[in-house]
Structure 1
Amino acid sequence: MSERPTDGGVTAAAHDVRATARRLAALREARLSGDGGPEPRDIIGDSWRRVRGCGVDPDRDRRERPLTAAELEHRKAASPLAAVLPVLHDALLPAADAAQQIMVVTDADGLVLWLEGAAPIRRMADRHGFGKGADWTEPVVGTNAIGTALVARRPVLVHSAEHFVRSHHQWTCAAAPLHDPRDGRLLGTLDVSGPAHGFHPATLALVSAVAKLAEGELRERHHASVERLRSTAAPVLARLGGQALAVDRDGWVAGAVGMAPPDRVALPKSPVPGPLWLPRHGRCVLEPLPGGWLIRVGGEPAPRPHRALLDLSAPDRPALTVSGPAGTWTHEPSPRHAELLFLLATHPEGRTAAELARDLFGDGGRTVTVRAELSRLRRHLAGLLAHRPYRFADGIAPELRLPADPAHLLPHSVAPGVRAARGGGDGAGAPPAAGADGA
């Protein structure tokens, strides 16, 4: 093979992708047989050595069990990349569709979370075990753009016989890692894959550019989230004496009083309201804020928020107002989250995912959707909601403020539990809790 592939994965003269594929196949066979010959690109040669060390069979697929539907939905709900899917769709999916390719987004473990694109190519991918929930790391499927990009931490294109496993030689894939712009943490990969004959030399550059665009969107969303928390926390911090910090749920600081604010506080993995010890600050007390936490440095333990008022008296402006030792704040939930908060407030003993699925959809089997929504709600209302069963946390007695006319209760909701509370149909809902009042 007289020409070495460039970093784009093809030779400068390789406009004939079939000829390129034949040359790559000959190179691969020579390397695997020990006959020497030209070296592949460094990134491909390094990957081949890794996967041979992992025992990957170059002639046979190794299929791992994909994630279950529940596992897949849990990972999708927990992934920060869910927030940038619209950006990825708008910037990349039309080009992928036009080229008869698919767009794939994985998490940092190489598990396929989202897969979109032309139906015939999706069916081809399914036959290769390349579906939602599949593990696409090097030790499982050998050299490929997703798995190799996760190891190399850089954009990678793998063309035809550069794939270590023979059954993947009809494919070309280009992937770029996606990082958290705040701290550089790897979040997953963005990939475009499809038949090798549809390969275009600009694919890798396009995927890399869209990955940077998505990281920029994550950065903007972080800044906007911190600003929202800062505006909520400002009056709370102003009422406090001593030292205190307002941080988002990942510990990024939005405000401080009585001290120079650090950029970030190292919170426990699953923080809960109450006393805790932080490495740089010593004894502290955590109190929930919408989208984050109030940290009172050196504070004494105080009761949890003593009042959580869910005001549904205005048909189109549901609001949750929480009063605690540090003051009062208000959060306006989305329509779906307002339904969930209402159902939890009217069932203080708690609801299982199946019960809430019946309350919301009339179908107790839709637990995956319920768990995903509650995961989002609990991330925003840190410390206010508990699970197993889902309920308001211990020490928080929810109160309801309802419309004078029951027909105006969440008027756009079709959830059976809400309709039953309006008196408008069968459902799993219950009458308002004893603490409810009218408007």
Structure 2
Amino acid sequence: MHAPIDVTRLAAVDHARAARVLSEVRSATLAGRRVRIAPRQVIGESWGRMLREGLDPEHAVGVPLLGRDELERRRQASPLRHVLPVLRENLLSVADVAHHILVVADADGLVLWREGNPSVLRSADRLGFAIGADWGEKVAGTNGIGTPAVIRRPVQVFASEHFSRRLSSWTCSGAPITDPRDNRLIGVVDVSGPLESMHPATLPWVNSVAKLAEAGLRERHRAALERLRSVAAPMLARVGGRALAVDAYGWTAAVTGMPHLDRLALPGSPAPGPVWLPSLGPCSLEPLPGGWLVRVTDRPEPRGTARIVLDLGQPRRWTVTVAGEAGTWTHELTPRHAELLYLLARHPEGRSAAALAEDLFGDPARTVTVRAEMSRVRRYLGGFLEHRPYRFCEQSEVQVLLPDDPCDLLPHSTAPALAGTRAGD
């Protein structure tokens, strides 16, 4: 097998030849034959996921699922509606001239908004690329919406890099958009069109606009914290002892009687009343407009064995659940924290910052990044993690729930240690 094809460079010179080469690569790979040229790694891994799912490459296209009411409900519930003006302003006019369309989908791959060149829109309709259609990878195969949602990175899918043969005349460039409040994937922005209009700069352009959209969401979040601070400040001034006001995602608006915390790990479904929080111990929660008033009750912290369950079995939602004398709570993990906790679970004897940097980046010198991330992990796992080296504490029983197929373990991850695990090393 030769090295992967440089699709971007070849298509920029001769898109017709690039499409022919990719068609040969796709046919041979999906048929299980030896290939003269390998697909790009991101494409080959996606094809592997589709084959394991049993997806039919002859019929894998988006299926309209959403009725008008459900479509409107999803639109209103999506934070992406707040950044549509940014996406349109920076993508739509150029996409229209370049014979592309702008598509915005939610985290499930369902198309919520679609605009652009009328003739390209009609072509998209014939491909099933319509508003309300499901373009998640498990339904539509490798594509510029479903694949970025799985791997959490920008992806350009050119011609026969699509798993579905029906999409071999199409090119898609998609970038994920995450919610800055909890790093949760909220959707994908995609620019798509006929393969003849493919340009190497399309993907970095789309990704830059996705980052602009995330910046807009961060600004909205800062404004919401300011509103909460104005409501909570008079109340905190009258509170004795330690207390803080946080939003629904645990971000701190104001504190009294204690050092400032950027973010507090709240229970998955917080409710008024007593609660045990990993970083503060026993507390009480009182609702505020847009958040919670958290009072620290200063009772002794419970001790004893804790059971920690690291659930990595779901495709895009990874959690850690702690069950102990203080009760049970669950925290949803970011992609990076899922990687780190998996590596610590694999090495109960502990891992130094340099070893984790080698595991994650293939570079033991990147210890500053590792220490910063581990500091964030300790904000919600608190005393359940030790350091020097980093490890789960001796009083914890750790269980890891994995996908049925090792190849589906944290598919977003490019960490060398994870790549080896997926490959069966």
Is the structural similarity TM-score above 0.5? yes
Check conservation: 2:64, 2:128, Cα contact below 8 A: no
In 2, Cα distance between the equivalents of 1:3 and 1:104?
Answer: 32
Tell me the SS of whatever aligns to 1:261: coil
What does residue 30 of structure 2 align with? 32
In 2, Cα distance between the equivalents of 1:13 and 1:102?
Answer: 20
In 1, Cα distance between the equivalents of 2:64 and 2:181?
Answer: 33
1:269 CA displacement = 4.3
What amino acid does structure 2 have at the position aligned with 1:5? I
In 2, Cα distance between the equivalents of 1:133 and 1:141?
Answer: 13
In 2, Cα distance between the equivalents of 1:267 and 1:112?
Answer: 32
1:196 CA displacement = 1.3
1:295 CA displacement = 2.4
What does residue 211 of structure 1 align with? 210
- Give structure 1 stretches of 5+ with no counterpart: 300-439
What amino acid does structure 1 have at the position aligned with 2:39? P
In 1, Cα distance between the equivalents of 2:159 and 2:173?
Answer: 11
1:136 CA displacement = 1.2
1:273 CA displacement = 4.4
Any idea what the Cα deviations from partners look like across 1:172-197, whole Å, max 9, x if unmatched?
00011112334433222111111112
Any idea what the Cα deviations from partners look like across 1:390-437, whole Å, max 9, x if unmatched?
xxxxxxxxxxxxxxxxxxxxxxxxxxxxxxxxxxxxxxxxxxxxxxxx
What does residue 94 of structure 1 align with? 93
Equivalent positions of 1:6-155 (< 5 A) are 6=6, 9-12=7-10, 14-33=12-31, 34-155=33-154
Any idea what the Cα deviations from partners look like across 1:330-369, whole Å, max 9, x if unmatched?
xxxxxxxxxxxxxxxxxxxxxxxxxxxxxxxxxxxxxxxx
Q: 1:174 to 1:295 in 2, by over 3 A?
A: same
Check conservation: 1:5, 1:11, Cα contact below 8 A: no
What amino acid does structure 2 have at the position aligned with 1:16? D
What does residue 196 of structure 1 align with? 195
Check conservation: 2:98, 2:197, Cα contact below 8 A: yes
What does residue 362 of structure 1 align with? none
- Give structure 2 stretches of 5+ with no counterpart: 299-425
Check conservation: 1:31, 1:37, Cα contact below 8 A: no
1:274 CA displacement = 4.8
Percent same amino acid among aligned pairs?
A: 55
1:253 CA displacement = 0.7
In 2, Cα distance between the equivalents of 1:276 and 1:114?
Answer: 41
Q: 1:174 to 1:271 in 2, by over 3 A?
A: same
In 1, Cα distance between the equivalents of 2:295 and 2:206?
Answer: 44
Tell me the SS of whatever aligns to 1:233: helix
Structure 1 length normalisation: TM-score?
0.62
Q: Tell me the number of residue pairs that the alignment of Structure 1 and Structure 2 aligns.
A: 298
Equivalent positions of 1:165-176 (< 5 A) are 165-176=164-175
In 2, Cα distance between the equivalents of 1:268 and 1:194?
Answer: 44
Tell me the SS of whatever aligns to 2:9: coil
1:283 CA displacement = 4.7
1:289 CA displacement = 2.9
What amino acid does structure 2 have at the position aligned with 1:90? E
- RMSD over aligned CA atoms reads 2.6
Any idea what the Cα deviations from partners look like across 1:19-47, whole Å, max 9, x if unmatched?
22122112222223314221111111111
In 1, Cα distance between the equivalents of 2:12 and 2:80?
Answer: 35
Q: 1:275 to 1:120 in 2, by over 3 A?
A: farther
Structure 2 length normalisation: TM-score?
0.64
In 1, Cα distance between the equivalents of 2:76 and 2:272?
Answer: 23
- Name whichever of 216-225 and 259-268 sits farther off: 259-268
Q: Which has the larger radius of gyration?
A: 1
Equivalent positions of 1:328-367 (< 5 A) are none
What does residue 294 of structure 1 align with? 293
